[in-house]
Structure 1
């Protein structure tokens, strides 16, 4: 029953309640006010549940209650090999054919070929370009004739997602971190932008040592730069001197998770109009999404779940002869391993 009907029901029958008369009009006006107040109350109540929050509201809620700060986006970095005879100055520009730009972060003299450190001008994963993509010089540099990147650009991460921030919030509530316990090291690792998960192994290298294995936000093995950033934050140089967040006397060693290479092959019946390359890309995307779900959580890669990814991929009508690493069984993952898709083949 809405507010108006409740108000009318509570009005004594000694009043004439017919529509259009004063008692009914007064109750109608009052019910409109109460309706608005009820809506505000329902909205405020919903905002008390973290699962209903997103964006800035979620950021503020988590910060006020736990002190956890949403991890910001980072710039991709790497090196370019510059050819010619001249000087590279800080902020000299290089770019991909698609217009993703990188600035030199150090001055360098070039006489032949020289490696120059660079940083993407845009925040986020957009800067994680593959090798041999940074080949353009948008503004002529005297004496410089060519540029390329022999290795991929790495460690460009988008701002922490709502899902990841909410996960860290629940982690601190459900796994109390105190006095450098296992949960504390997990939280410390996740404090660093780009870290998507951590596993802690006490006494791996002897008494009073801690091994922390990390993955990035794509749930893949972490780069050397990300490992170094976490090492610096927790225990620089693994000294146990208490110069960072780790307690005195406990030597922490940060390492990347090991990648378990996975190759998938199958005979696929394609739907009309789909090319092999498109189907392979769709299957690969589905499998990578599944791998993100199992990284550092499941002890194996499921053969059946891989089949589900293949069958449900856009452009696939049916499949047969599915093999995962040339077998038809689950692939076991070690405690320090995460799955890495290295190829999908249509046979």
Structure 2
């Protein structure tokens, strides 16, 4: 790690060099040398801070925001932007009397003190009984735009004769902008995997390029010869909705250069399986649980992510190895020893199946007495 001098160290170096030229003289606060060299040392210290920031901005593990976007672009990775929630088919039910048509651009909102706003993208014609079905799109991108079937909406502006507006299907597909943590993780997964020529790792890479997908597993030949099953996990550790699953399959089909036919590609939402870890630890001198626990969480998260590497039909159930998690704990800086390590309450290996994705749950450490 790059080390930079403090303002005081810079000032002392300047004073020593100054005295090396002039010989002994007064350099106390208020003296002419002090008044000239102290501001200079302050400016140089700020320049060092800028250099340090620039240094860290070049490294994926330290960069954030726009700097992280630039750092991961060396691998052709682009941050996934937020997407709008929408109805995939006309399932917005409108009921009204003396209403012939709801024009494209008509706005609706949810009930409550903090409403969300939506818009009809195409004209909706009501039949002779006053019923019509239309599409609907959220005005603001993000997960907050996803609504469940049965949600009732209100028109933003009064529409004479309109009696009710209700969703007959889920409004889905809304995703948040990819976080720095998820973008950084996707970068490391890409550089560590050998994705090439349409192998299983390549399917994982393509899946992770879709907004709303944060983890993926791929299995070759699990559903028969010359097939690939891709299992997806969405944002916040939840299964992605059907719109995201469909978008992922479409993206994979557009990217794969060779391999199984369209009917041999199976893409589905995963079931997240949480794993809680507990242990007592003996700490080295000058270390606290606040120092050790976050580092152990990071190591466990990387371990669970590594278990998502592509596999085949002969290895669909993967173990969370108890001894491996113990080795990670013992390798955590500040830990001298440990005891009573458990995974989900048991001191044995735990497992997850082919349609499950491991999610890091609670990590609890206590000091050995």
TM range (shorter): 0.5 to 0.7
Q: Is the 8 Å Cα contact of residues 17 and 24 (structure 1) preserved in structure 2?
A: no
1:319 aligns to what? Answer: none
Query: Runs in 1 of length 4+ with deviation above 4 angstroms?
Result: 20-30, 293-300, 329-332
Deviation for aligned residue 1:24: 6.5
**Equivalent residue for 2:80, pick from 54, 71, 91:** 71
Deviation for aligned residue 1:56: 1.8
TM-score normalised to the size of structure 1? 0.68
Q: Is the 8 Å Cα contact of residues 273 and 352 (structure 2) preserved in structure 1?
A: no
1:87 aligns to what? Answer: 101
1:250 aligns to what? Answer: 260
2:185 aligns to what? Answer: 167
* Pairs aligned (count): 276
Deviation for aligned residue 1:33: 4.6
1:16 has 2:24 as partner = yes
2:135 aligns to what? Answer: 117
Distance 2:252 2:80 in 1: 16
Instruction: Indicate how the Cα distance of structure 1 residues 74 and 28 shifts in structure 2: closer, same or farther if over 3 A, else same.
Output: closer
Q: Is the 8 Å Cα contact of residues 221 and 256 (structure 1) preserved in structure 2?
A: no
Unmatched tracts of structure 1, length 5 or more:
236-243, 263-292, 301-323, 341-347
Distance 1:172 1:332 in 2: 25
**Equivalent residue for 2:61, pick from 33, 36, 51:** 51
1:335 has 2:366 as partner = no
The aligned runs of 1:118-197 (5 Å cut-off) are: 118-141=136-159, 143-197=161-215
Deviation for aligned residue 1:106: 3.0
Q: Is the 8 Å Cα contact of residues 80 and 134 (structure 1) preserved in structure 2?
A: no
Q: Deviations over 1:226-262 (max 9, x none)?
A: 1211111111xxxxxxxx2102243352422343799
SS at match of 1:50: coil
Distance 2:150 2:258 in 1: 45
2:123 aligns to what? Answer: 107
Distance 1:162 1:222 in 2: 20
Unmatched tracts of structure 2, length 5 or more:
1-7, 275-302, 309-317, 321-343, 360-369
SS at match of 1:214: strand
TM-score normalised to the size of structure 2? 0.64
Distance 2:23 2:273 in 1: 81
The aligned runs of 1:185-264 (5 Å cut-off) are: 185-235=203-253, 244-251=254-261, 253-259=265-271
Distance 1:198 1:224 in 2: 15
Bigger proportion of residues as strand: 1
Distance 1:215 1:231 in 2: 14
Distance 2:189 2:126 in 1: 50
Distance 1:143 1:258 in 2: 44
1:240 aligns to what? Answer: none
Stretch of structure 1 that moved more, 20-29 or 214-223: 20-29
Stretch of structure 1 that moved more, 116-125 or 217-226: 217-226
Distance 2:319 2:160 in 1: 56
Stretch of structure 1 that moved more, 215-224 or 249-258: 249-258
Instruction: Indicate how the Cα distance of structure 1 residues 221 and 52 shifts in structure 2: closer, same or farther if over 3 A, else same.
Output: same
